[in-house]
Amino acid sequence: MNRRIFLRNGSLAGLALSTLSLGACSTTPEKTTNPTDGDAAADGGPDTSFELHEATVADLQEKMKSGQLTARRITELYLQRIEQIDKAGPRLHSVLETNPDALKLADQLDEERKNGKLRGPLHGIPVLIKDNIDTADQQQTTAGSLALAGHKAQQDAFIVKKLREAGAIVLGKTNLSEWANFRSTRSTSGWSSRGGQTKNPYILDRTPSGSSSGSGAAAAANLCALAIGTETDGSIVSPASCCGLVGFKPTVGLWSRTGIIPISATQDTAGPMTRSVRDAAILLGALAGEDAADAVTKESPGKTQPDYTKFLDPNGLKGKRLGVEKGHLTGASDAIPLLKQAVELLKAQGATVVEVEVEKQTDPLGQAEYDVLLYEFKDGVNKYLATAGAGVKTLTDVIRFNTENKAKAMPFFQQEILESSDKLEGLQSPKYQAALRKSHQGARTALDTVLRENKLDGLVAITNAPARCIDLINGDSGGGPGFSSSAAMAGYPHITVPMGQVHGLPVGLSFVGGAYQEGPLLGLAYAYEQASKKRAAPAFKAPFVG
């Protein structure tokens, strides 16, 4: 989750959503890294030699249907790609571990196909998932923390059960910003004590953003067919934007949170991170469903769809009315011209676009949001650890472990957010209750009012600024617009789609709507995606060397 946004909004820090590096980093990279050997590529463009380059779910299903490929061969190709790109070559450090059972699972699914059993569009499709999501297999679930190293979940998270039932293959676990970027006010996005620093595959000294940094970098670099991230505030949409992906944070309650290491009971959700809107729609519907162990999902029956692809219409912008965030149309950000171009394209596709001001109403809620997260983090983590079977049983234990193993657990930044959270009382606190009313209801009121009074089908804005430099000494640097907090505090859906690039760095266009409006939002995003075609594969550009 991108704590920079609410830290900024709460006037706690002049920071934003971005990036990190040991030393200076340039906006004008000079060469491209060959993914297979680390040498400079001759043409300076993306490597397209990989057999599954930019493959969609539909592409893979067609290859399996025709017999050209099997689920096993597809899985083998992605595992080889991880070795070539993540462990060697550019060394993205986006994948913490691969699933030792992946090939066996692929064989089982191939046998089912051979016998005429197809579970659906995800049958035989390899998926990477963030390392704060439980899998009851040989893989660990650690939130990137050495304090949880060795922890293997006793049962699958609810969404992992759904994933397996749909026939997908859990390919491995992705790196993340440790504790989902909720450990320190000056942390480095994409870094964890277990996995080290994830790199942005577009320019290697740039941040992949956080906290779903590994899922973002891996999906962008074609290390998997699909990836899953989690978001509290910005942690799906920000890395998706910085890594040239479609990222979808659904309505809180559409996907279960059971079996996911938490930050916030009111804001957390997992969601798709993919290279196309269609693939996001496929994954979204497959994992939606009511979970008796997650009370919020009990609000979803009748509001969800088993198949969101029916909303995908290339003419879906015609006759729609959209509100563009006025504050994103002026300023010094290099992303602003991209937004203006996107607005003109939306109009050309038949949409009416009017200027609105949402952030003036929601930015002042940042301190209340931060207070809510501090309270809910302690409560949620203690409940998770109490039954997880890990070596640490409480947040206090985690803090103690980090202190006793400071050289390895905290070599660059500390754990002041963990410590602040651990000092708080329970959720019965009047301060917590007041903060929750202010942030959650305040954001919902602001969004609902703007959508209703302007008769809007959705809101559009810059997802976040182009990726900054990785800086393990000073932590994330700031600057530029970002649009995750309003939807995050309200628990409303938010999808980002590639909008173009600045100096070779991707920037996303956000679409935000009301609760359980995933279908209509997917329609808007798909129509924009098909008209703009701004997704471009990464070229693994090395930092400029003077």
Catalytic residues: 130, 211, 235
Closest to 442 measured CA to CA, from 483, 481, 492: 492
Report CA 68 to chain centroid distance, whole Å.
32
Residue type, 507: V
Closest to 463 measured CA to CA, from 56, 16, 129, 94: 16
CA within 13 Å, CB half, 540: 25
Residue type, 428: Q
- Angle, nearest 10°, between helix axes 277-287 and 57-66? 80
Q: Which helix (H) or strand (E) holds 354?
A: strand 352-356
What is the spatial distance between Cα 430 and Cα 432, in angstroms, rounded to a whole number? 5
Q: Which residue in the block uniquely carries the two structure tokens 């290099």? A: 334
Collapsing DSSP to helix, strand or coil, 272 comes out as strand
Q: For 498, which DSSP code?
A: E
Closest to 213 measured CA to CA, from 242, 233, 186: 242
What is the spatial distance between Cα 237 and Cα 1, in angstroms, rounded to a whole number? 9
Phi, psi (deg, nearest 5) at residue 179: 50, 35
Buried-exposed string 54-78: b where 16+ CB fall within 10 A, e elsewhere: ebbbeebbebbeeeebbbbbbbbbb
